[in-house]
Amino acid sequence: MTGNLNYLNDVVNIEPIPVELLDGVFHVAKAQGNLDLSSDIKLSNVLYIPNFQCNLVSIAQLNRELKCFVIFTDELCVIQGRTSRNLIGVGELRGGVSCFNNSATVKV
């Protein structure tokens, strides 16, 4: 999910969907679209939540759509092809959150 409509392609309005985050706060998704996270990572049905201050990726959706492994260490989140074992993407741990880095060579 994202709060930036400019990140999405093929945007369609949807019936409002309440989304509860871990902090117990509800937000309302009003549209969805596709997102090109990189040339190798394309996500569909990404929810748009107006004024949402960050971008969140569902690991379950990532696994399902990319047919990949997502491996977490104390410093990295590594996205790797299930059959090819090719490196698809890397997230670095920053302040307790894994932040995607478009360069797949970070500390790997």
**Per-position DSSP letters for 1-15, written without gaps between them:** -BS-GGGEEEEEEEE
What pLDDT does 103 receive?
Answer: 52
Given strand 76-81, what is the order of strands in its sheet? Answer: 68-72, 76-81, 87-94, 97-101
Mean pLDDT, the chain, whole residue set: 84
Of the pLDDT bands very low, low, confident and very high (cuts 50, 70, 90), residue 102 is low
Q: What percent of the chain has pLDDT over 70?
A: 92
- Exposure on the CB side of residue 57, measured as CA atoms within 13 A: 23
Give how far the C-alpha of residue 66 lies from the chain's centroid of Cα atoms, to the nearest Å.
12
What pLDDT does 54 receive?
Answer: 82
